[in-house]
Amino acid sequence: MLSDNVKQGPAHAPHRSLFNALGFTKEEMEKPMVAIVSSYNEIVPGHMNIDKIVEAVKLGVAEAGGMPVVFPAIAVCDGIAMGHIGMKYSLVTRDLIADSTECMALAHQFDAMVCVPNCDKNVPGLLMAAARVNIPTVFVSGGPMLAGHVHGKKTSLSSMFEAVGAHAAGKIDDAELDYYDQHACPTCGSCSGMYTANSMNCLTEAIGMGLRGNGTIPAVYSDRIRLAKHAGNAVMEMYRRNIRPRDIMTKDAFMNALAMDMALGCSTNTMLHIPAIAHEAGVEIDLEIANEISERTPNLCHLAPAGRTYMEDLNEAGGIYAVMKELSKKDLLNLDCMTVTGKTVGENIKDAVNLDPETIRPIEEPFMPNGGIAVLKGNIAPDTGIVKRSAVAPEMMVHEGPARVFDSEDDAIAAIYGGKIKPGDVVVIRYEGPKGGPGMREMLNPTSAIAGMGLGESVALITDGRFSGASRGASIGHVSPEAAVGGPIALVEEGDIIKVDIPNHSLNVEVSDEVLEERRKNWKPREPKVTSGYLSRYEKMVTSANRGAILEVK
């Protein structure tokens, strides 16, 4: 046992004295010591129930012969952080979470670990930590929120943001807006559509690091408590069999995750997190492979904001295993990958059944013949631009219009609400990338404002920042290289004609190379927006979005 390094022999008597101070018995100290990484807090709706999940995990670990020990992980609520300086602190927490969990796990020599995350950066941060620490680890999330109900229709957080846009356009009054905010988010849990948190929890199942139902069982269901107990049992079985995260998080497992990403219509943020997690596991992923996988993988689910179904519907339809079973019918998954169940993917999904062909389309009748995400390239985005094409209106798949250029999200929002954006425009928001932000803000506010004001089928948005999984429309993010390092998006001028062609994976400004080069001669780097604290350190170390915005020492 790793924990023998702090528990056994005369030399470790001082360590044992500190365990005695914690109230540990001699019998407990003879058992494997299992870290329970609790993301519980009282500010994030997706985390307010995690204390109950953690208690159930502890019972499962103890029942299976381990000694559970809890320590915390932070988490930011992107919905609360949205639209102000707080959003600069969202993506950056992914690395804080990974670093602090690594520190705690290795400093105290834990033998195994159960991670209990839920929201956007919390899940990938803990997956990154699991790959680094590489002790037997199981994930069990806090679970998704139930959908809200407004006037008899299911709603979610994206409906709320779009209601703000409708209010600004005079389409609804104050009383209706108040009715929305009282009913859109009715329970604890991660917001109820296929947004980033739920995308990552579902992909944790696909990678093999979470048990069946991890991504879809609603937070308020007692099934979630049972799942947590089973996770505690499972980590002890992994410990006994010495199955470690890097045995599970292989290149084939990440290819399975990308295929499931396309089938589910996940958030574009997965295109940041999958490469970053893979990097920690020693696997390098070139995002261009996403288009290859997308071309052969049909889109089977249209959950909110792309459609009218929600996480609870996906759960009732058979969950992630049912979607994987559909993909396996056309050999689109590697079924030999190991998982935290101690079985392969193929063994796990053998008996899965699609119980609702409207929520999970049969692979013979998909929503779209190719996947939910596309990687675009062109003279604005020589490396990458990412779009959730499953949430784009058909008439916006190909679009051409004049650039409306803004050097911050705040300026763009003011213009949208001020009625200055017209049908046909292409809104360009730059200097919001990993370095330029710093922190690569998520832009649900401008995308929701565009949709709420009735412009979702006529206006495109391009940014070196990123989008919420709740965003919909022709919203193209992660443009790399970003403006802050002199990427071509920095050279676009007001009125330039921009052509978006999602089916052909292209994104271009109709300006000659010679003109762009002349503009480059006049371009100068901006002074950093932040010069102290964590954001300043992050800005100095963060890499491009097409590499997952990982941190590197230059």
Structure confidence by residue, pLDDT tens digits, 111-120: 999 999 999 9
Burial bucket for residue 537 (CB in 10 Å: 0-12, 13-18, 19+): middle
User: Over the stretch 376-397, which tens digit does the pLDDT of each residue have?
Assistant: 999 999 999 999 999 899 999 9
| Cβ neighbours of 37 (radius 10 Å) | 27
Question: Coil, strand, or helix at residue 375?
Answer: strand
Concerning whether 506 is annotated as a catalytic residue, the answer is no
**Single pTM value for the model:** 0.95
Q: What is the pLDDT of residue 513?
A: 95
Q: What is the pLDDT of residue 521?
A: 95
> If residue 509 lies in a helix (H) or strand (E), which one and from where to where?
strand 506-509
Highest mean pLDDT among 13-17, 227-231, 443-447: 227-231
> If residue 548 lies in a helix (H) or strand (E), which one and from where to where?
none
Sequence-distant contacts of 179-182: CB under 8 A, at least 24 apart: 179/150, 180/150, 180/155
User: Over the stretch 157-191, which tens digit does the pLDDT of each residue have?
Assistant: 888 888 888 898 899 999 999 999 999 999 999 99
Question: Coil, strand, or helix at residue 154?
Answer: strand
For residues 84-101, give the mean pLDDT.
96
> If residue 449 lies in a helix (H) or strand (E), which one and from where to where?
helix 444-452
Q: What is the pLDDT of residue 339?
A: 98
Q: How confident is the model at residue 205 (pLDDT cuts 50, 70, 90)?
A: very high
User: Over the stretch 296-333, which tens digit does the pLDDT of each residue have?
Assistant: 999 999 999 889 999 999 999 999 999 999 999 999 99
Decide if 148 contacts 187 (C-beta within 8 A).
Answer: no
User: Over the stretch 511-524, which tens digit does the pLDDT of each residue have?
Assistant: 999 999 999 999 99
Q: What is the pLDDT of residue 505?
A: 96
Phi–psi pair at 545, nearest 5 degrees:
-60, -35
User: Over the stretch 417-438, which tens digit does the pLDDT of each residue have?
Assistant: 999 999 999 999 999 999 999 9
User: Over the stretch 247-293, which tens digit does the pLDDT of each residue have?
Assistant: 999 999 999 999 999 999 999 999 999 999 999 999 999 998 999 99
Q: How confident is the model at residue 449 (pLDDT cuts 50, 70, 90)?
A: confident
Q: How confident is the model at residue 490 (pLDDT cuts 50, 70, 90)?
A: very high
Decide if 346 contacts 337 (C-beta within 8 A).
Answer: no
Q: What is the pLDDT of residue 169?
A: 84
Phi–psi pair at 431, nearest 5 degrees:
60, 35
What average pLDDT is seen over the chain? 95
Share of the chain above pLDDT 70, in %: 100
Q: Which residues have CB under 8 Å from 442's CB, separation 6+?
A: 78, 82, 87, 90, 91, 269, 465, 466, 467, 468
Q: What is the pLDDT of residue 453?
A: 86
For residues 67-81, give the mean pLDDT.
96
Per DSSP, helices labelled H in 9-92 are 13-21, 26-29, 50-63, 78-81
For residues 127-140, give the mean pLDDT.
98
* In the predicted structure, residue 489 carries a pLDDT above the cut 90: yes
Question: Coil, strand, or helix at residue 511?
Answer: coil
Q: What is the pLDDT of residue 15?
A: 92
Q: How confident is the model at residue 470 (pLDDT cuts 50, 70, 90)?
A: confident
For residues 80-102, give the mean pLDDT.
95
* In the predicted structure, residue 469 carries a pLDDT above the cut 80: no
Task: Identify the weakest region by mean pLDDT among 13-22, 215-224, 486-495.
Answer: 13-22
Q: How confident is the model at residue 36 (pLDDT cuts 50, 70, 90)?
A: very high
Catalytic residue among 38, 199, 328, 468: 468
Q: What is the pLDDT of residue 214?
A: 98
Decide if 368 contacts 376 (C-beta within 8 A).
Answer: no
* In the predicted structure, residue 368 carries a pLDDT above the cut 90: yes
Q: What is the pLDDT of residue 301?
A: 96
Q: What is the pLDDT of residue 418?
A: 92
Q: Which of 369, 538, 392 is nearest to 477 (CA)?
A: 392
Share of the chain above pLDDT 90, in %: 90
Cis-peptide into 305, omega within 30 deg: yes
* In the predicted structure, residue 554 carries a pLDDT above the cut 90: no
